[in-house]
Amino acid sequence: GYGRFWGPNVDLDGNDTLGEGKIPGTEYLAYSDDGSGRKNVTLLVQVPASFDPAQPCIVTATSSGSRGVYGAISAAGEWGLKRGCAVAYNDKGGGNGAHELGSDTVTLIDGTLANAVLAGNASLFTANVSSA
């Protein structure tokens, strides 16, 4: 099994890399929404340094259940990245944004916090509540 035949520290030939399992490349993170800022879907693409534009390959990986955008890395991401494929993920709108109502603080796409009013449509999630 895991760590012997597959896993982040195992190369395509089944050899232990003796490393941390990191795959060099570039990651792009974005939102898609209906314009209201209340129906955000997080989109992510990881492009390994070994990606060959002359022989492009892309793997799609939608997270399962209530997992966030990174939820499908172990299922499809590792496989694609190790083979030089770009991997496109989405969280189908089930991301991990939070709205702390007491301080009116929300999470932004980069994981930082901001006032909900100031964040506007940049918020991962803003509760639909009124002050009344």
Q: pLDDT tens track of the chain, all 132 residues?
A: 555 656 666 777 777 776 677 788 999 998 888 777 677 788 899 999 999 999 999 999 888 777 778 888 877 888 899 899 999 998 877 777 889 999 999 998 888 999 999 998 888 888 888 766
Q: Nearest CA to 91 among 109, 112, 106, 117? A: 109
Q: Which two tokens stand for residue 56?
A: 């492009």
In angstroms, rounded to a whole number, what is the distance separating the alpha carbons of residues 59 and 32?
A: 19
In angstroms, rounded to a whole number, what is the distance separating the alpha carbons of residues 72 and 42?
A: 13
Give the start-to-end residue ranges of the domains of the chain: 1-14+22-94, 97-127
Residue 81: its H or E element: helix 78-82
